């Protein structure tokens, strides 16, 4: 039935226009959700190898090791440099102050990434891995049932045509 429809040799039962609209909206929602999810992941973790590593940890149900943010690393370098120059020197004092500010910025960045992952990315993943799979499965079932219906209609039409032909020949 599917092949005959694709070749234009069989009639296809059309779905309700409202339902077709819902299917189109569902596809659009899925596509945009995937794009937003990917780009947010890139924003939160620009390093592709680190993203792959985090993905693998996630799939293996293991805890992702905590990473030092760039701000925290800069703060660590500044503090070490301040200790080398001497905390009493003007340059050392400045490095300590700026290093402490960078440490707080790095901690805020880490908290933002954690919060965005939990509160934003998790619901998007749940939609794609849960709801969308259900929608796709139900869509395939509907398509198969529609094909079955159309095949039965075609057989009925052929049977009626054969019956009419037999009645004419009698």
pLDDT in tens, 87-116: 999 999 999 999 999 999 999 999 999 999
pLDDT tops 80 at residue 13:
no
Overall number of domains in the chain: 1
Q: Distance between terminal CA atoms of the chain? A: 32
166 in a domain, yes or no? no
87: CATH: 1.20.1270.60
Residue range of the domain that includes 49: 19-161
167 in a domain, yes or no? no
3-class secondary-structure state, position 112: helix
1 in a domain, yes or no? no
Q: What is the pTM of this model?
A: 0.73
Instruction: Please report the sign of the dihedral spanned by the C-alpha atoms of residue 89, residue 90, residue 94, residue 97.
Output: positive
152 in a domain, yes or no? yes
Query: Chain-centre distance of CA 21, in angstroms?
Result: 22
Mean pLDDT (whole number) for 50-71: 84
8 in a domain, yes or no? no
| C-alpha distances in Å from residue 13, one per residue of 7, 17, 147 | 15, 12, 8
pLDDT value at residue 150: 87
In the structure encoding, which two tokens stand for residue 140, read together?
């395939």
Distance (Å, rounded) from C-alpha 28 to C-alpha 38?
16
170 in a domain, yes or no? no
Mean pLDDT (whole number) for 3-31: 84
Mean pLDDT (whole number) for 52-70: 84
10 in a domain, yes or no? no
């Amino acid at each position: 039935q599917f092949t005959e429809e694709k070749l234009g040799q069989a009639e296809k039962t059309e779905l309700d226009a409202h339902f077709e609209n819902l299917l189109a909206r569902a596809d659009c929602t899925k596509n945009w959700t995937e794009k937003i999810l990917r780009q947010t992941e890139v924003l939160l973790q620009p390093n592709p190898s680190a993203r792959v590593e985090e993905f693998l940890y996630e799939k293996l149900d293991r805890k992702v090791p905590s990473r030092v943010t760039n701000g925290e690393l800069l703060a660590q370098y500044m503090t070490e440099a301040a200790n080398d120059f001497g905390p009493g020197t003007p340059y050392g004092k400045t490095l300590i102050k700026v290093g402490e500010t960078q440490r707080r910025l790095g901690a805020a960045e880490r908290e933002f990434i954690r919060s965005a992952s939990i509160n934003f990315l998790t619901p998007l993943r749940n939609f794609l891995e849960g709801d969308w799979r259900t929608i796709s499965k139900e869509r395939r079932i509907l398509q198969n049932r529609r094909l079955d219906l159309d095949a039965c209609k075609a057989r009925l039409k052929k049977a009626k045509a054969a019956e009419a032909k037999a009645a004419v020949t009698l």
